């Protein structure tokens, strides 16, 4: 971190991290590592977070409860993990009582809460993205689908827990998805308006940008694996694993992405009158004609956070605090040379129906370069760690090479015992095969 960064003595002493997933467990670990040595609490947390910091059973969507908790615990900085409390205006409510927070206010969170809103900004400011149609009624949507053909992408406009995107391989599949969203109520209010986009082809990359107004810092590159099965098969999920750095994003390509997408995006958001202070997550497809925006998210990606934060050789708390205060100008970060990989262990059946309450047995000891990040976990009445979500754990390894990191992560995955355990066996394979 550069000299423009806050010193440890000026950093917050009492930090609340909101959320219950792998992203939040990673944030807890990163903030605890700060030289400022802050007191950290989490709400609602999970079984893994609870082994590291005090947790409070306030749901992430309980804005009133979270503000009351922050006041009661004398919190001087809140880091908001998930998209739902952001879209509900948690940061706005905290600001009203004088508590700084990392994460956009509700107007900025709309960039994730509404895919149509984001698409309109991309088109308005000429930022590369796929051609599209926007629909609230079935017949016009079906007519558009028939005019474009398949494969084609159908997106529910609102928040759908990372599952509101259907990549239809046939026209029949596309029509069924559109009808499901608009008439079948598959995603509730999130699907009352849909976005139909041309299907882009290429490799994806995730660009995480710590943003404060027009100032920004680009974090290390990563590549997510969205589909449930090996070889990118099966339905889309919230993410089954990731690795960093993504070598497909060469320094030259990253410079192009910054020039054509990152800087124009940050400026477009500011030009729209939004004072965005948080993470602008830009999903990008690397098409044959160049990088193109798939989506914006308004928080750290999960599982991207689980490989990006361990690679930072800078104080994460200082970085987020500077962004929240509007003092990001001049801040630079240092990155470790090691490669990181995260393999997500999910519950059988995810992203559809899956069991909860299965007992998880973790290895008694872990290699020094491996972390087990908890996502969908809880404690049962007997004090055992059990499954409580679709994505259960993230096994993250850091090593001099991606191959060594993958070997270390997969060795630990094999040792974890859980009746409903399922995970992909090819995280990072594209990069390894390229090499």
- Domains parsed from the chain with CATH numbers: 12-105 (3.40.50.20), 135-192 (3.30.1490.20), 203-434 (3.30.470.20)
Residue 3 predicted with pLDDT over 50 = no
* pLDDT value of position 111: 96
Residue 165 predicted with pLDDT over 90 = no
Question: Is it true that the peptide bond before 359 is cis, omega within 30 degrees of 0?
Answer: no
* pLDDT value of position 187: 59
Residue 159 predicted with pLDDT over 80 = no
Residue 260 predicted with pLDDT over 50 = yes
CB 191 within 8 A of CB 185: yes
Task: Say which range, 29-43, 190-204, 385-399, has the weakest mean pLDDT.
Answer: 190-204
* pLDDT value of position 4: 46
Task: Say which range, 189-203, 224-238, 315-329, 362-376, has the weakest mean pLDDT.
Answer: 189-203
pTM: 0.92
Choose between 122 and 188: higher pLDDT.
Answer: 122
Percent of the chain with pLDDT over 90: 88
110-158 pLDDT, tens digit per residue, is 999 899 999 999 999 999 999 999 999 999 999 999 999 999 999 988 7
301-337 pLDDT, tens digit per residue, is 999 999 999 999 999 999 999 999 999 999 999 999 9
Averaged pLDDT score across all residues of the chain? 94
Percent of the chain with pLDDT over 70: 95
Residue 2 predicted with pLDDT over 60 = no
400-413 pLDDT, tens digit per residue, is 999 999 999 999 99
* pLDDT value of position 186: 60
Residue 342 predicted with pLDDT over 70 = yes
> Which among 281, 303, 301, 299 has a CA at the least distance from the CA of 393?
303
* pLDDT value of position 236: 83
Rounded mean pLDDT, 28-50: 98
Strands 215-218 and 233-236, bridge-based pairing: unpaired
């Amino acid at each position: 971190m550069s000299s423009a960064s806050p010193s440890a003595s000026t950093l917050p002493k009492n930090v609340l991290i909101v959320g219950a997933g792998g992203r939040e467990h990673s944030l807890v670990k990163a903030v605890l590592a700060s030289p400022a040595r802050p007191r950290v609490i989490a709400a609602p947390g999970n079984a893994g977070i609870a082994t590291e910091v005090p947790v409070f059973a306030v749901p992430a969507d309980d804005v009133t409860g979270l503000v009351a908790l922050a006041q009661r615990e004398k919190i001087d900085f809140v880091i908001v993990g998930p998209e739902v409390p952001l879209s509900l205006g948690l940061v706005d409510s905290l600001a009203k009582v004088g508590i700084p927070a990392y994460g956009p206010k509700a107007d900025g969170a709309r960039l994730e809460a509404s895919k149509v809103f984001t698409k309109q900004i991309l088109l308005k400011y000429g930022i590369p993205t796929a051609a599209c149609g926007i629909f609230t009624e079935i017949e016009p949507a079906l007519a558009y689908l028939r005019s474009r053909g398949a494969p084609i992408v159908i997106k529910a406009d609102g928040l759908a827990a990372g599952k509101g995107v259907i990549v239809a391989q046939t026209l029949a599949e596309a029509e069924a998805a559109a009808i499901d969203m608009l008439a079948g109520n598959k995603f509730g209010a999130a699907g009352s308006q849909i976005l139909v986009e041309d299907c882009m082809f290429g490799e994806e990359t995730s660009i995480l940008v710590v943003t404060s107004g027009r100032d920004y810092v680009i974090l290390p590159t990563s590549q997510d694996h969205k589909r449930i099965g090996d070889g990118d098969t099966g339905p889309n999920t919230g993410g089954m694993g990731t690795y960093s750095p993504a070598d497909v994003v060469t320094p030259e390509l990253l410079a192009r992405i910054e020039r054509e997408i990152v800087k124009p995006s940050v400026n477009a958001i500011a030009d729209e009158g939004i004072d965005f202070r948080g993470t602008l997550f830009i999903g990008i497809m690397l098409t044959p004609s160049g990088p193109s925006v798939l989506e914006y998210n308004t928080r750290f990606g999960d599982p991207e956070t689980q490989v990006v934060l361990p690679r930072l050789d800078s104080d994460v708390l200082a970085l987020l605090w500077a962004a929240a205060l509007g003092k990001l100008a001049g801040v630079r970060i240092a990155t470790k040379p090691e490669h990181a990989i995260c393999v997500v262990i999910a519950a059988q059946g995810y992203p559809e129906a899956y069991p909860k309450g299965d007992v998880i047995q973790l290895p008694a000891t872990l290699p020094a370069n491996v972390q087990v990040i908890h996502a969908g976990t809880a404690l049962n009445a007997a004090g055992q760690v059990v499954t409580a979500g679709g994505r259960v754990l993230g096994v993250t390894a850091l090593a001099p090479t991606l191959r060594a990191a993958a070997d270390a992560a997969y060795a630990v995955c094999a040792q974890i015992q859980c009746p409903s355990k399922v995970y992909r066996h090819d995280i990072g394979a594209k990069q390894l095969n390229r090499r």
